[in-house]
Structure 1
Amino acid sequence: MTEAEWQVVRAVLPVPAWREEWGGRPEGYCHRVMLDAVRYVVDNGIKWANLPSDVPPPYRRVHAFARRWQVTGLLAELHDRLRDKVRATEDRSPDPTAAIVDSQSVRAATNIPRQTSGWDGGKKVGGRKRHLVVDCLGLVLAVAVTAASAQDRDAAVPLLERLRRQYFSIRLVWADGGYAGRLVDWAAEKLRLTLRIVRRNDDTAGFVVLPRRWVVEITLCATRRSVCIPGSAGRNSEG
Structure 2
Amino acid sequence: MKTQISISHLSKTFSTVAGPKKALDDVSLEIREGECVVVGGENGSGKSVLMQIIAGLMDADNSGTDSRVHVEGRVGLVFQEAETQILGETPAEDIAFGPKNLGWKKEEVQTAVREALEKTGLTDKADFPARFLSGGEKRRLAVACMLAMKLPVIILDEPYANLDFGGVKQVNALVRQLKEEGKTVVILSHELEKCLGLSDRLVVLFRGKKVFDDTPEEGLKQNLEEWNIRNPLVAYKSVKDLIWE
Pick the TM interval, shorter chain. Answer: under 0.3
Task: Point out the structure with the larger helix share.
Answer: 1
Q: TM-score, normalised by structure 1?
A: 0.25
Task: Point out the structure with the larger strand share.
Answer: 2
Based on CA coordinates, which of the two structures has the bigger radius of gyration?
1
Q: TM-score, normalised by structure 2?
A: 0.25
